[in-house]
Amino acid sequence: MTQADLALVGAGYWGKNLARNFLSLGALHTLCDASQKTLDSYGAEYSSVVRVSSFASVLSDPNIRKVAIATPAATHYALARAAIEAGKDVYVEKPLCLNSEDAQSLIDIAGEHQRILMVGHLLQYHACVEKLQSMVREGELGRLHYITSNRLNLGKIRQEENSLWSFAPHDISVILSLASGVPESVTCQGESYLTPGVADTTLTQLKFANGLRAHVYVSWLNPFKEQKLTVVGSAGMAVFDDTKPWNEKLVVYRNYLTWADGSFPQVNKQDGALVTVPELEPLKRECQHFLTACEQRATPRTDGAEGMRVLQVLNAAQASLDSNGLPVSPVSTTRKQIYFSHPTAVIDPQAVIGSGTRIWHFSHISDEAELGERCNLGQNVFVAPKVKIGANVKIQNNVSIYAGTTIEDDVFLGPSCVLTNVTNPRSQINRQQLYERTLIRRGATIGANATIVCGVNIGCYAFIAAGAIVTKDVPDYALIIGTPGRQSGWMSRHGNKLIFDTTGKAVCPESKLTYQLTQAVGSNPTVRCIDLDEDAPLPQALTVGKSEYRSRQDV
């Protein structure tokens, strides 16, 4: 039996619809709104519902276990975080919040407190959309070509948010569910006619890696109301028109093409077939879904992660709108204040990238790869899953870094250098579980076209000359040349060759730091910088823009 343990925060324009549905489901305990006039507008059917103007009283009430938030988007993060930290399950109207950093914070906090976090993407709970999603999943429309969505009306005109943020989230949510992924690039154009800086109309285009394209056209300056989603596939087309009567909302056009002589398409003009679905109120189903998820401790269909994906696209569209329609990668907007990626770069959603890092043309950073701060990746760089790269690493063009490789801070990888991870690769034999570990320690340089055979350690500040082939471990500060690589001396931290005197000391001509060559009986020679502790940060002259080193044991 449903308990009346939900507080609705924000009881105004859209809140009234949520209040009606949560009340009919027997869940509404409290109405919370800063406006007493709004609270007084609720009639006798709400006589058993508590009415408060203080959000603090909602947080402190032990009888309230769920909170639904229908306030302006700018308040979503603070209210949702406070509710989660007070031990409440939370439903947030779209959008989840206004930036991806706050969204990720809410996801993390909800996970830590084991609370349900759900976003109000209403169309996901429309029976026609659910049927359309099922048709796409089961291949009834074939391979998807493109999706168009028009959401047009005359009003409601807003000043606190533009038409993109007001109208587009629901359609973007549905498009992402049909595409089963986030687009690789987003472009958006629009114009502000009524309020400076608030776009009244926007056209957003989504480009997916599999060739699928989509556009979302929204406006509150249109003489008629239109809410239409069209999905075009290789085997059929479907139209969801939410302004039509219920039994006419979803229409499918099958076999719209005939291929004459197997080469040229002929259009089959025919009436579409109506698709019948149960007539159910989407908002009530959405509210019930939240209550059920809370009761069963199950992940909602539109959970925080789904809200994050929609927010990524919205932020990318806004960034493109602000730059007059330049393409923007949605994933880079997750940390748009943290790192830069070129629109042609592919950044998988679970990649971790540090602040100040720059990723250039046609590079690909895989899920679970980790890049530190202030790295610079040139063109056509590939970083495989689970690779760890430290801070201030410079990777030149055409370098692939495969699983099993760890790279510490301040490493330089020259153009087209080769890193391997299997000693004896065969195409017919899967050796993914046998990847060998390669460690490149801080400050090392790998020259252009050099090859590092897997399973070796490259020491701190070692210098591998261009074209060398390294087949065994390299000591700290060693200079390696030739094929196969052989040691040809020692290099300073500044990359200058060291010349040792009879006492085993050498001074770097650039930094004036002193190095000691030591060869104990029965061991290989070693070099260390006697002016610096090995695990300490380097002098300022050597560390412009650099964070403190991790100790070797951290790698």
pLDDT at site 555: 24
Q: How many CB atoms lie within 10 A of CB 103?
A: 29
How does residue 332 score in pLDDT terms, banded at 50, 70 and 90? low
The closest of 202, 217, 186, 195 to 319, measured between CA atoms, is 186
The model's pLDDT over 139-156, given as tens digits with 9 standing for 90+, comes to 899 889 999 999 999 977
Q: Is the pLDDT of residue 433 over 70?
A: no
Name the pTM for this structure: 0.60
Give the neighbor-by-neighbor strand order of the sheet with 514-518.
Answer: 505-507, 514-518, 526-529
Mean predicted confidence (pLDDT) in 452-459: 95
The model's pLDDT over 66-112, given as tens digits with 9 standing for 90+, comes to 999 999 888 999 999 999 999 999 999 999 998 888 888 999 999 99
How much of the chain is in helix, strand and coil states, percent to nearest 5?
25, 30, 45
For the domain spanning 6-122+283-301, the CATH number is 3.40.50.720
Q: Is the pLDDT of residue 322 over 80?
A: yes
Domain ranges within the chain, ordered by starting residue: 6-122+283-301, 124-277, 329-554
Cβ proximity of 203 and 217 under 8 Å: yes
Mean predicted confidence (pLDDT) in 397-417: 95
Question: For residues 541 and 345, which has the higher predicted lDDT (pLDDT)?
Answer: 345
How does residue 547 score in pLDDT terms, banded at 50, 70 and 90? very low
Q: How many CB atoms lie within 10 A of CB 418?
A: 15
d(Cα 331, Cα 341) in Å, to the nearest integer?
Answer: 9
Mean predicted confidence (pLDDT) in 405-432: 88
d(Cα 191, Cα 422) in Å, to the nearest integer?
Answer: 55
Q: Is the pLDDT of residue 258 over 80?
A: no
| Sign of CA pseudo-dihedral 20, 25, 30, 34 | negative
The closest of 130, 81, 79 to 106, measured between CA atoms, is 81
| Distance separating the N- and C-terminal Cα atoms of the chain | 53
d(Cα 380, Cα 398) in Å, to the nearest integer?
Answer: 5
- For the chain, the maximum distance between any two Cα atoms, rounded to a whole number of angstroms, is 99
Question: For residues 333 and 418, which has the higher predicted lDDT (pLDDT)?
Answer: 418
| Range with lowest mean pLDDT among 76-80, 118-122, 223-227, 335-339 | 335-339
Question: For residues 197 and 155, which has the higher predicted lDDT (pLDDT)?
Answer: 197
329-554 CATH fold? UDP N-Acetylglucosamine Acyltransferase; domain 1 (2.160.10)
| Range with lowest mean pLDDT among 197-211, 288-302, 313-327, 425-439 | 425-439
How does residue 288 score in pLDDT terms, banded at 50, 70 and 90? very high
pLDDT at site 533: 59
Q: Domain spanning 124-277: which CATH class is it, in words?
A: alpha beta
Q: Could you give the percent of the chain with pLDDT greater than 70?
A: 92
